[in-house]
Amino acid sequence: MFITGSFDHYVKVWDTNTSQVVVDFKMPGKVYRTAMSSMAMSHTLIAAGTDDVQVRLCDIASGAFSHTLSGHRDGVMSVEWSTSSEWVLYTGGCDGAIRFWDIRRAGCFRVLDNSQTQLGVRPPILKRPAVSSKFFSAAKSSLGDQNWLKTLQSKHTGSQSVKGSSSEKPSVEKSRQKRIHPGMLSTLDRATAHYGVVTGLKATNDGMYLLSAGSYSRIRLWDIESGRNTLVNFETGRIQTDRAIQLDTSDDPALVFVPCMKTVKGFGMWSGRTTLMLRGHYESVNTCCFNSNDQELYTSGADRQIIVWSPGGSVEDEMAQGEVAEDKDNWSD
């Protein structure tokens, strides 16, 4: 089967054997992007991003909507499933927000913030200092087995009360947050990943990083575990802002293929520099899809063309071309 989404407000599931629609879903607006998880074993859900503020998950098995994810304040132009978990979904909206969802619970569990950064390397995990056994033995001998734990607890609660007395406002805010439903907390969080529309998302194959494209022709690389911007400075390139685009990556070398108007640029994932530029379309390019098995790149654009970009010919082909060139006469009148 294959799936199509269109501006006619429909998401359709097609049978490749009969070339007919098996299931269709009526959406509340134009469909910008559809996605299915490449590793899902427990569900057959299609994530659909439309010009409506809600993300809808379509269940092929039942032919109905199974989830409605609320949190964005504008249309959702990009959706991407995680490559490490079948339950995690990433969405990018016209409000500039990128949200992480666990479809097994209400509300999103993370909203990316452009101001939260790290320089390429994940921050080290903070370890609690180990308490020596001499301390416990001394405490037991002086206070007894039953009373030493109570004294530790009283000291701990006392230190907390002293801290709380100095700053009462944060404790009040925390108590209020606990009372609010998690779904409401996700809607109140208005952090932005891009200062404009998020037009494309792509999770790396190892599930560690997330690429995003947005307005002002900006490309950002995010650490999925920490949710921070890695500050990779990608070179500028004109990116469409009025429609969704599809990014893709290669593993070796690590390249990011981005549709930049009529061209396709390949950026180094960690350097951000342009390593190649592909020209062949007559109109804006919308989609990039990399085939890791054949090392081929497929692109499609508004000129209604699908172009296959393959690596250079083999050594045998180059040798054959050299032999033909040697047979030709080099004299002239």
| CA–CA separation, 19 and 123 (whole Å) | 50
Sequence-distant (6+) residues with CB within 8 A of 208 are 223, 224, 225
Per domain, the residue ranges of the chain are 1-118+189-199, 232-313
Taking the CA atoms of 133, 134, 139 and 140 in sequence, report the sign of the dihedral they define: positive
Give 161's pLDDT tier (boundaries 50, 70, 90).
very low
pTM of the model: 0.74
pLDDT level of residue 331 (50, 70, 90 thresholds): very low
Which class is 1-118+189-199 in CATH?
Answer: mainly beta
So what's the pLDDT on residue 215?
80
Q: Taking all residues of the chain, what is their mean pLDDT, rounded to a whole number?
A: 80
From residue 25, give the alpha-carbon distance in Å to each of 21, 79, 123, 142: 11, 17, 43, 72
CA 312 to chain centre: 31
Read off the pLDDT of residues 226-281 as tens digits, 9 standing for 90 and up: 999 999 999 878 888 888 999 999 987 799 999 999 999 999 999 999 999 999 99
Q: How far apart are CA 327 and CA 310, in angstroms?
A: 29
Q: CATH says 232-313 is which class? A: mainly beta
Give the H/E segment covering residue 221: strand 218-223
**104 CB contacts (<8 Å, ≥6 apart)?**
87
**How far is Cα 270 from Cα 15, in angstroms, rounded to an integer?**
40
Would you say residue 312 has pLDDT above 90? no
